[in-house]
A and B are shown apart, each in its own frame.
Chain A
Amino acid sequence: MLDKVIKQKLVVIGNGMAGIRTVEALLERAPDLYDITVFGSEPYGNYNRILLSPVLAGEKTVDDIMLNTVDWYEDNNITLRKGETIAMIDRRTCEVVTEAGDRIPYDRLLIATGSNPIMLPLPGKDLPGVIGFRDIHDVDRMIKASTDYRNAVVIGGGLLGLEAANGLMKRGMNVTVVHLLDTLMERQLDPVAGGLLRKSLEERGMVFKMPAQTQAILGEDRVTGVRFGDGTELAADLVVMAVGIRPNFELARKAGLHCERGIVVSDTMQTYDGRIYAVGECVQHRRQTYGLVAPLFDQAKVCANHLAMKGFATYDGSVTSTKLKVTGIDLFSAGDFAPGPDKEEIVLQDANRGVYKRIILKDKKIVGAVLYGDTIDGPWYFQHLRDGTDVSHMRERLVFGAGNLGDGGVNGQSSVAAMSDETEICGCNGVCKGAIVKAISDKKLFTLDDVRAHTKASSSCGSCTGLVEQVLAFTLGGDYSAAPKVKPLCKCTDHSHDDVRRVIVEQQLKSIPAVMRFMEWKTLNGCHSCRPALNYYLLATWPGEYRDDQQSRFINERVHANIQKDGTYSVVPRMWGGVTTPGELRAIADVAEKFNIPTVKVTGGQRIDLLGVKKEDLPAVWADLNDAGMVSGHAYAKGLRTVKTCVGSEWCRFGTQDSTGLGIKLEKFMWGSWTPAKVKLAVSGCPRNCAEATCKDVGVVCVDSGFEIHFAGAAGLHIKGTEFLTKVETEDEALEVIVALTQLYREEGWYLERMYKWCDRVSLEQIRKRVVDDLKNRKALFERFAYSQQFSQSDPWADRASRGVDRNEFAPLAELELA
Chain B
Amino acid sequence: MTQWIEIGALDEIPRLGSRVVRTPGGNIAVFRTESDEVFALDDRCPHKGGPLSQGIVHNKRVTCPLHNFVIELASGHAVAPDEGCTHTYPAKVENGTVWLALRQAAAVS
Contacts and interface: CB of A to CB of B under 8 A. Distances in A.
Contacts of B55: 528, 555
B34 to A, nearest CB: 6
Interface centre among A523, A559, A815, A816, by most chain B C-beta atoms within 10 angstroms, is A816
A550 B57 CA distance: 11
Interface centre among A531, A567, A808, A813, by most chain B C-beta atoms within 10 angstroms, is A813
A815 B108 CA distance: 6
A788 B22 CA distance: 40
Given A551-B16, A551-B56, A814 B7 contact: yes
A816 B19 contact: no
Interface string B82-98: 00000000000000001
Contacts of A528: 55-56, 58, 63, 68, 70
B16 A555 contact: no
Contacts of B63: 527-528
Nearest to A527: B58
Nearest to B22: A815
A212 B40 CA distance: 68
Interface centre among A550, A556, A808, by most chain B C-beta atoms within 10 angstroms, is A808
Contact of A813 (B7, B70, B105): B7
A813 B21 contact: yes
B65 A554 contact: yes
A523 B63 CA distance: 15
A645 B20 CA distance: 42
B105 to A, nearest CB: 5
B34 A818 contact: no
A812 B16 contact: no
A552 B24 CA distance: 30
A713 interface: no
A446 to B, nearest CB: 13
Interface residues of B, number: 44
Given A551-B56, A554-B65, A567-B51, A808 B106 contact: no
Contacts of B49: 566-567
B102 interface: yes
A552 B15 CA distance: 11
B8 A551 contact: no
Contacts of A527: 56, 58, 61, 63, 70
B8 A816 contact: no
B13 A531 contact: no
A525 B16 contact: yes
Contacts of A563: 51, 54, 65-66
A531 B109 CA distance: 36
Contacts of B70: 527-528
Nearest to A530: B58
A565 B50 CA distance: 7
A1 interface: no
A639 interface: no
Interface centre among A454, A532, A555, A566, by most chain B C-beta atoms within 10 angstroms, is A555
Interface in A358-384: none
Contacts of B34: 524-525
B30 interface: yes
Interface string B16-28: 1101111111010
Interface string B24-58: 11010010001000000000000011110011111
Contacts of B5: 816
Contact of B57 (A453, A551, A818): A551
Q: Size range of the interface on A? A: 20 to 34
A565 B48 CA distance: 8
A350 interface: no
B14 A808 contact: yes
A818 B66 contact: no
Q: Is the interface of A mostly helix, strand, loop or mixed?
A: mixed
A526 interface: yes
B104 A567 contact: no
A529 to B, nearest CB: 9
Contacts of B66: 563, 565
Contacts of B8: 813-814
A819 B106 contact: yes
Contact of B107 (A523, A550, A817): A817
A525 B58 contact: yes
Contacts of A565: 48, 50, 66
Contact of A818 (B50, B65, B104): B104
A539 B5 CA distance: 40
A816 B23 contact: yes
A816 B102 contact: yes
B14 A818 contact: no
A818 B25 contact: yes
A769 B34 CA distance: 45
B59 interface: yes
Contacts of B54: 555, 559, 563, 567
Contacts of A531: 56, 58
A813 B43 CA distance: 13
B14 to A, nearest CB: 6
B73 to A, nearest CB: 12
Given A525-B59, A551-B15, A816 B106 contact: yes
Interface in A515-556: 523-528, 531-532, 550-552, 554-556
B21 A817 contact: no
Interface centre among A524, A528, A808, by most chain B C-beta atoms within 10 angstroms, is A528
Nearest to B11: A808
Contact of A524 (B59, B68, B81): B59
A818 B81 contact: no
B45 to A, nearest CB: 10
B22 A812 contact: yes
Nearest to B51: A567
B106 A523 contact: no
Contacts of B27: 812
Given A528-B68, A551-B16, A816 B21 contact: yes
Nearest to A568: B51
A813 B13 contact: yes
A816 B70 CA distance: 27
A812 B24 contact: no
Contact of A454 (B7, B81, B104): B81
Contacts of B24: 816-818
B102 to A, nearest CB: 7
A483 to B, nearest CB: 21
A448 B4 CA distance: 45
Given A454-B81, A567-B50, A523 B59 contact: yes
A814 B24 CA distance: 12
Contacts of B61: 527
A732 B79 CA distance: 52
Interface centre among B51, B55, B56, B105, by most chain A C-beta atoms within 10 angstroms, is B56
Contacts of B48: 565
Minimum-distance CB pairs A-B, first 7: A528-B63, A453-B81, A813-B19, A567-B51, A524-B59, A815-B22, A555-B54
Given A524-B34, A563-B54, A813-B21, 8 more contacts: A528-B58, A563-B51, A808-B13, A812-B22, A815-B109, A816-B22, A816-B102, A818-B25
7 contacts: A527-B58, A528-B68, A563-B54, A567-B49, A813-B7, A816-B107, A817-B107
Interface of B: 5, 7-8, 12-17, 19-25, 27, 30, 34, 48-51, 54-59, 61, 63, 65-66, 68, 70, 81, 98, 102, 104-109
